[in-house]
Amino acid sequence: MTWVRSASDKSITVRCTRERLRALVNDVTGCGRLMPGVESLERVAEAADGTDTRGVYHYRLATVSNGAVTFTPEYEARFDTSDPDAITWEPHGEHNFRSWGTFHIEDGAAEGEQRLRIETRTEASVDVAPVVVVLIEPFAQKETDEVTEGFLEAVREAVEQERAGVS
C-alpha cells in the first residue's frame, strides 16, 4: 500500500449571519453530509478498546476510480469545535484514508456576508507501486479540489436557502 496525498484551500462568500454559519459548520453530521460523496457519517458512540471518542465521527465515502485505481475511503476524524471561527479535524485511528483540515469563518466584504474557507489535506492508502504515485496524485488533487468546491457550494446553498425561507 502506498499513500497518495493531496491538499486544497478554497473559499466562498456566504450571505447569512455569522451565527447561522457557525451553527451549520458546528453541526458535524448535518454539515458533513453536505460534502459530495458522503455515503454515511455518524458520531462514534464508544470505542471497543475504551479510547476517548468525544468529537469522533466515522465517514464512508463513495468509491472513486480513475481507471487504474478504485478506492472506497473509510475513516474516522476527531473534530475540535472549541473555536467557533476555526473548526478543525484530524485523523483518529488507523484507516485507509486520513483527513486534516480547518473550516475558517471570516468577515465578508460586505455586511451580512461571511467568508467560509476550507483548508484540508488528505492521504489515501492505495494498492499501487510507489513509482506510479506521481501519475495518480494529479487525479487525487483534482478530486480533492472538486469535492472541496462542491462542499462549499452546498454549505452556501443550505444557509442561503434557510435565510430565504426555502426548506
Q: What is the CATH number of the domain that holds 152?
A: 3.30.530.20
Residue 19 near residue 142 (C-beta atoms within 8 A): no
Predicted local confidence at residue 86, as pLDDT: 95
75 pLDDT more than 90: yes
What is the tally of structural domains in the chain? 1
67 pLDDT more than 80: no
Percent pLDDT > 90 in the chain is: 71
167 pLDDT more than 60: no
Predicted local confidence at residue 54, as pLDDT: 77
Residue 16 near residue 160 (C-beta atoms within 8 A): yes
Name the pLDDT band for 65 (thresholds 50, 70, 90).
confident
Cα gap 4→125, rounded to integer Å: 6
Name the pLDDT band for 70 (thresholds 50, 70, 90).
confident
Predicted local confidence at residue 129, as pLDDT: 86
pLDDT tens per residue, range 77-104? 999 999 989 999 999 999 999 999 999 9
Range of the domain at 64: 2-164
Cα gap 83→48, rounded to integer Å: 29
